[in-house]
Structure 1
Amino acid sequence: MTATWVGSSASVVVWRSPFAPSSVPPPPATVATSRSSSSTDEVTLLEVGRIDKPHGVRGDVVVSLITTETSRVAVGSVLQAGDRELVVVASRPHQHRFVVTFEGVYGREGAEAIAGRVLRAEPFDDDDPEDLWVHHLIGSAVIEPDGTERGRVESVQDNPASDLLVLDTGALVPLRFLVERDSLGRLVVDVPAGLFELLDDD
C-alpha cells in the first residue's frame, strides 16, 4: 500500500502549522491517552496546539496550532488542556496564530490560569484509509525493504527539507524515504545506503 499524506506534498504531515514562520519550527507532535467517562476504553488524544498567553482583559487567549487543521479552533470544538475541557465559542486569526475565546474562561485572571497549557483533541475520523496522520506514525515500527528493523517512531519533527521520523534509537529518518505502511502496520523506509550505519558508528 502506498502511503499518501494529508497536506500539500508527500513531505508535509498534518501537524505543521501553515501560519508558522518557516524559520521557527514547532515542537514534535505527541500523543496522550484519556479514559472516557462512559467507558473503560482509552481514547487517544493528539497534541494540536498550545495556549500561549492572554489577549486583552476579557478572557481571550492566543493559541498556536501545530496542525494544518484550523478547524481545531472552530466554534464548538472541544479541546483538552490538562485536566480541563475547553469549548471554543469564538476564534479569529491573529499574527500567524489565533485569538480564541473558551467557554467559562472570564477576565484576565481566567486567561492567565490556562496560559501555557498544551491543547489536545481526539483524532478525526479518517475519510481515506490510505491517508497517514501523525497519530498513525507514533509508536510504529520502522523497517527497511529487506525487513531489517530500525526502531519505533517516538515523534515527528518539522524540518524545512523533509519532516523527520524521530526513532527511539536516536535515528532521524526523512519522511520522503517512507514508501509504504505494510499489512502489519510497519513503516517501510528506503533510505540511502549507509544512513543507519553512520548513526551506529557514532
Structure 2
Amino acid sequence: MPESGRSAGAPLPELLEVGTIAKPHGLKGEVIVALLTDREDRLAAGSVLQTDRGPLTVVEAHPHQHRWRVRFEGFATREDVDPLHGLVLRAEPVDDPDVWFVHELIGLPVVLTDGTEVGTCTAIIDNPAHDLVELDDGRLVPLPFVVDVGDVIEIDPPEGLLDLA
C-alpha cells in the first residue's frame, strides 16, 4: 500500500474490506459493486476507497438489484472500467463503539451471561435471517442472542439452543 502523505515510520491504519467490483455496467463507466457492509455511506459521493490499483473516488452510487451501480472519478467508458473487475474495495474502520467487526470477534471466548464458557468464536456466518456466531465445536448462535462484546462474546441463548444432538 502506498504511504504517500504519511511521515516515515507512521503506522498505516488497518483497512477493512467493504466491497468488491463485480463487473462493468453499461457503456458509461459504471460498475456493479457488491457491498459487504450495511453502511451505505461508504459509497457516498466523494468517498475514497482504496484498492490494490490505488484509490478510487466515488462520483455517484445508486442501489441496483441488491447491489450498487457506482461511477468513479476518471472512468468514463466501459473500456475504462473493464480492468476494475474483481477489485476489492477497502476503507478505514468507522470509529463507533457500538460497531463490531468480524475480524475482532474471531478467536474470542464465548460465554453465557453467568460466565460459563461455551466455546470460542471461529467464524461469523452470513445468514439471511441473522448472522451466526460459529463456535469451535460447530454449534451456531444467532447474533440476536449476543448480549455484549468485549474481551469475550457474552450470549443469552434460549434453553436448548446449545444442546448437542
**Normalised by the size of structure 1, how large is the TM-score?**
0.65
Q: 2:49 aligns with which of 74, 79, 85?
A: 79
| Structure having greater relative contact order (Cα 8 Å, sep ≥ 6) | 1
SS in 2 for 1:120: strand
Residue identity opposite 1:147 in structure 2: T
Is the CA contact 1:62–1:100 (under 8 Å) kept in the aligned structure 2? Answer: yes
Q: How many residues align?
A: 160
In structure 2, the CA distance between the partners of 1:72 and 1:143, relative to structure 1 (3 Å rule), is same
> Separation in 2 of the partners of 1:138 and 1:92?
31
Q: Between the two proteins, what is the percent identity of the paired residues?
A: 42
CA RMSD after TM alignment: 2.8
Q: 1:157 aligns with which of 126, 131, 140?
A: 126
Unmatched 5+ stretches in structure 1: 1-33
Report the counterpart of residue 101 of structure 2 in structure 1.
134
In structure 2, the CA distance between the partners of 1:153 and 1:84, relative to structure 1 (3 Å rule), is farther
> Separation in 1 of the partners of 2:89 and 2:35?
9
Report the counterpart of residue 142 of structure 2 in structure 1.
174
Residue identity opposite 1:191 in structure 2: P
SS in 2 for 1:71: helix
Unmatched 5+ stretches in structure 2: none
**Normalised by the size of structure 2, how large is the TM-score?**
0.77
Report the counterpart of residue 29 of structure 1 in structure 2.
none
Is the CA contact 2:58–2:72 (under 8 Å) kept in the aligned structure 1? Answer: yes
Is the CA contact 2:124–2:131 (under 8 Å) kept in the aligned structure 1? Answer: no
SS in 2 for 1:43: coil
Is the CA contact 1:152–1:167 (under 8 Å) kept in the aligned structure 2? Answer: yes
Q: Of the two, which has the highest radius of gyration?
A: 2
Are 1:100 and 2:66 counterparts? no
- Deviation (angstroms), 1:65: 1.8
